[in-house]
Amino acid sequence: MTMTRTVGAARCALSGMAVGALMMVMGCGSGGGGTPHTASGSLEQLAAEAGCRPDVRTDAAELRQATCQNGARRYVLVTFTNARGQAEWLDEANDYGGTYLVGGSSWVAVGAADDIAALHHRLGGTVVDAAGRHGGNHHGHHEG
């Protein structure tokens, strides 16, 4: 039982550090350079700002996830009820690599790099390139 608590405490500490690191990378306010202030709101509100109608795939207490398509652009939007849930989701997703658009501590969009770049202009946020298992040891973060 002690080992389980230790592992659980370590995970909580790591999640807290991940949230802190994300908040430092993202900063507060707009991304500058013509990028809008980071959008916020419900999954449906974010989808409306992105110019798409969400097809909700997961509707759970801690997160909501939907696929979204705007013309040829396709991505997944995920909203979270708290920063810890987002940090845990990002930690798990990081193993798979990819490009993410992170909106504060409440939402994430996942898609092809070009689709995320276009979505970034509509929703603001921070673009995160995760290395994943097959992408090496580099993790890139950039705004703008």
Q: How high is the pLDDT of residue 26?
A: 39
d(CA 16, CA 11) in angstroms, rounded, equals 9
> How do residues 30-83 score in pLDDT, each as one tens digit?
344 555 689 999 999 999 999 999 999 999 999 999 999 988 999 999 999 999
Q: How many beta carbons lie within 10 A of that of residue 33, not counting itself?
A: 7
Q: How high is the pLDDT of residue 35?
A: 53
Contacts of 5 by beta carbon, 8 Å cutoff, 6+ apart: none
Global pTM?
A: 0.69
What's the chain's average pLDDT?
76
Using alpha carbons, select from 79, 69, 85 the residue that is nearest to residue 119: 69
